[in-house]
Amino acid sequence: MSANQDRYATAVARYFDAWNAGGEEALAKAVTAAWTADGTYTDPLADVRGHDGIAAVIAAAHEQFPGFEFRLTGAVDGHHDLARFGWELVAVADGSAPVAGFDVITLGDDGRIRSVHGFLDRVPAGA
């Protein structure tokens, strides 16, 4: 794996660690490890900046989808300071995945995420 590919893979692993963190303290630590202090998260449902805003979006997803976890689908692709990857929100109980999408991230010099631009490919009605 090239140095850049390793950098992308590490950033994406931290991203999923944050999205799958359980509990307020673990979530705060995971968000800090994954994002820069002024990092952003933008998708069709949210547009936030900073660790507190990002943690709030993740906590809201956990409340809306208890018993689910985010999983990478496919390979991480990147160039320069950009990477893209697909994901699904999967029910631990039965493996169903009602939500799926892909994200494009921009990395800072320290390898943490500066920005996420998320796209939703599959969303259940009423979500």
What's the CA gap between 84 and 56, in Å, rounded?
Answer: 23
pTM of the predicted structure, to 2 decimals: 0.94
State how far the Cα of 36 lies from the Cα of 39, in Å rounded to an integer: 5
Looking at the structure of the chain, the number of domains it has is: 1
- Tens place of pLDDT for every residue, the chain, 127 residues? 577 889 999 999 999 999 999 999 999 999 999 999 999 999 999 999 999 999 999 999 999 999 999 999 999 999 999 999 999 999 999 999 999 999 999 999 999 999 999 999 999 876 5
User: Can you tell me the distance from the alpha carbon of 31 to that of 119, in angstroms, rounded to the nearest whole number?
Assistant: 20
User: What is the pLDDT at residue 97?
Assistant: 96
Rg (CA), the chain: 14
The C-alpha atoms of residue 24 and residue 33 are separated, in whole angstroms, by 14
CATH code of 60's domain = 3.10.450.50
- Does residue 78 fall inside a structural domain? yes
CA 110 to CA 58: how far, in whole Å?
23
What confidence score (pLDDT) does residue 112 get? 98
Domain membership flag for residue 127: no
Please report the pLDDT score of residue 126 as a whole number.
65
In a domain, 86, yes or no: yes
What is the domain extent for residue 75?
A: 3-122
Distance CA(94)–CA(111), nearest Å, equals 34
